[in-house]
A = this chain, B = another copy of it.
């Protein structure tokens, strides 16, 4: 599927941590860790595991901008 989301950042899964319903997946994108909070169900369905190539996908309307004060 091709998506409207503007931000698709390629990286490698660094860690998958499952909770009771929600999992945290850490993706190393060029040296920066991007953390995704997704359902356990998605982790199982996509068979996400450490070392795997993956993309952090983010809709533009969910990105804020910050500057140093």
Contact = CB atoms under 8 A, between A and B. Distances in A.
B35 A6 contact: yes
A interface, by DSSP: helix, strand, loop or mixed? strand
Interface residues of A, number: 52
Interface in A16-50: 17-25, 27, 29-32, 34-39, 41-43, 46, 48
Interface string A7-23: 11100000001111111
**Of A48, A60, A65, most B-chain CB atoms within 10 Å:** A65
Interface of A: 1-9, 17-25, 27, 29-32, 34-39, 41-43, 46, 48, 52-69
Given A4-B25, A4-B48, A21-B23, 5 more contacts: A1-B57, A2-B68, A20-B21, A24-B60, A53-B67
